[in-house]
Amino acid sequence: MQPLPSIPTTLFEATEQAKTAVQAAIQDGYNRIQVEMVIPELKHQPIAQQFLDIFGEQQFKVLFPDAGAAALARRDWENPDFTIRGLGELAEPVEPDDDAYLVVNPSAIEVAAVESLCNQAGDRPVILLNPQLEDVAIVGIGYAARQLRERFLSQIESCYYLRSLDAAALYRCYPHPWQVWREIAPDQYEWMVDFPQRPSGEDIDRILYAADHRSPASTDPSALDPKGQTGSQTGSQTGSQTDSQTGRRKKGLFAELQQFIRALTQ
């Protein structure tokens, strides 16, 4: 059994965790994988560069939303010997000798191109780094949007996720479950509860509300289940892992991430 992950304190640590999660998901047979680090002002190109070593000796392509972003990456990465192109640049983006694909920050505008790439790739891994494929203004909310989600978007495994919420953080590092961490002091967080699937905003609100309004004597996060109730069966089932996590705190979480981002952009 792999050790339970701990929420990262730097962008470098988050990216290293994400790389490990991607490799674990690929080993378990997933081939449509996404990594999401929802951090303001995040620069995607340096994160993508940090991901390159997971491919080893494989033949792979790195695809950006457009030709301009791809050209900047080629320049900054000193024209490496692997393919770096925009999603619309290649008439045949998938070739027989390809082993894998890294798609960097595709938006809903590129969703058709990304879906086509995945269909052509077959069993070969396609890794989506910080995708934004579900913009309602572009994808819509009607029948066509529902078909897109059922046909394609729902097939993507979210193997790494990190997002700051109001007084909390949502975190997932494959193969471990989704986790809610609560801010207990400025930039200081503690683990609260696990979810087997990505929790909704309402789920998270219930958890945080229950934590804020429970009695002082009830301070063990294992008393909360994913529906925000105390003393539940779910809480007792996760007690063994909670014992190792109770009181786990991370200081300077998103403050340190922002400092790292500023350092990258200087």
Q: What is the pTM of this model?
A: 0.79
Positions of E strands within 87-225: 100-104, 126-129, 157-165, 168-173, 178-185, 188-195
Is residue 228 situated within a structural domain? no
Is residue 166 situated within a structural domain? no
Half-sphere exposure at residue 122, Cβ-oriented, CA atoms within 13 angstroms: 7
Tell me what pLDDT residue 256 has: 53
Phi and psi dihedrals of 224, rounded to 5?
Answer: -100, 135
- Nearest Cα residue to 156 out of 165, 148, 166: 148
Phi and psi dihedrals of 161, rounded to 5?
Answer: -150, 135
Is residue 15 situated within a structural domain? yes
CATH code at position 28: 3.40.50.300
Is residue 146 situated within a structural domain? yes
CB 9 within 8 A of CB 252: yes
- Nearest Cα residue to 241 out of 217, 219, 222, 227: 222
Residue 58 domain boundaries: 11-161
- pLDDT of 215 over the 50 cut: no
- pLDDT of 263 over the 60 cut: no
Quick one: tokens of 118?
């995945």
Quick one: tokens of 202?
């309402």
Q: What is the pLDDT of residues 9-57, one digit of tens each?
A: 889 999 999 999 999 999 999 999 999 999 888 999 999 999 999 999 9
Is residue 73 situated within a structural domain? yes
- pLDDT of 80 over the 90 cut: yes
CA end-to-end span of the chain, whole Å? 41
Tell me what pLDDT residue 51 has: 97
Tell me what pLDDT residue 240 has: 37
- If pLDDT is split at 50, 70 and 90, which confidence band does 135 have? low
- pLDDT of 138 over the 90 cut: no
- pLDDT of 216 over the 90 cut: no
The answer for residues whose C-beta is within 8 angstroms of residue 122's C-beta and 6 or more apart is none
What is the number of domains present in the chain? 1
Q: Is the dihedral of CA 50, 34, 252, 176 positive or negative?
A: negative
- pLDDT of 225 over the 60 cut: no
- If pLDDT is split at 50, 70 and 90, which confidence band does 83 have? very high
- pLDDT of 172 over the 90 cut: yes
- pLDDT of 223 over the 50 cut: no
More confident residue, 121 or 207: 121
- Nearest Cα residue to 69 out of 106, 36, 39: 106
Is residue 216 situated within a structural domain? no
- pLDDT of 92 over the 80 cut: yes
- Percentage of residues in the chain having pLDDT higher than 70: 74
- pLDDT of 251 over the 60 cut: no
Eight-state DSSP code of residue 243: H
Is residue 197 situated within a structural domain? no
- pLDDT of 94 over the 90 cut: yes
Q: What is the pLDDT of residues 151-164, one digit of tens each?
A: 898 999 999 999 98
- If pLDDT is split at 50, 70 and 90, which confidence band does 142 have? low
Is residue 193 situated within a structural domain? no
Tell me what pLDDT residue 217 has: 35
- pLDDT of 224 over the 80 cut: no
